[in-house]
Amino acid sequence: MLNFFKSLFKNDAYENLQAAEFLAKAKTTPDAVLLDVRTPGEVAAGKLQGAKDIDFQGHNFTKAIGKIDKDKTYFVYCRSGVRSANACRKMHEMGFTKLFNLSGGYLSV
């Protein structure tokens, strides 16, 4: 019965990682890209070193994501983990396969 409920929430689009594992894996993964999907105002208040920022709520998110390399591994984060999860889903729909979401977002770092 428990496996049935787990299957309802199975996520094939991306993997959620807690902050320590997210940062460690991003650091040790070849061709890893940190992707900050927060608003410009949020990014201005601070971001993870080396992160590329593309605002998920911006009007050009899909166009900007369409221009980046789908073969790289993306470590995606936002403020609390919700927008980045949605960004991962969208990226997966666009053909990205190596996606990690920061569970708890930037607030958890």
Question: CATH number, domain at 90?
Answer: 3.40.250.10
Q: What's the rounded Cα separation, in Å, for the pair 67 and 48?
A: 22
Task: Look at residue 6 and tell me if it is in a domain.
Answer: no
Task: Look at residue 80 and tell me if it is in a domain.
Answer: yes
Task: Look at residue 5 and tell me if it is in a domain.
Answer: no
Burial of 108 (0-12, 13-18, 19+ CB in 10 A): middle
Task: Look at residue 76 and tell me if it is in a domain.
Answer: yes
Name residue, tokens 């073969």. 71
Q: What's the rounded Cα separation, in Å, for the pair 5 and 57?
A: 31
Task: Look at residue 55 and tell me if it is in a domain.
Answer: yes
pLDDT at residue 25 in the model: 98
78 tagged catalytic: yes
pTM: 0.90
pLDDT tens by residue, the chain, 109 residues:
444 444 445 578 999 999 999 999 999 999 999 999 999 999 999 999 999 999 999 999 999 999 999 999 999 999 999 999 999 999 999 999 999 999 999 999 9
* Domain count of the fold of the chain: 1
* Structural domain that includes position 54: 13-108
- Exactly one of 17, 26, 54, 78 is catalytic; which is it? 78
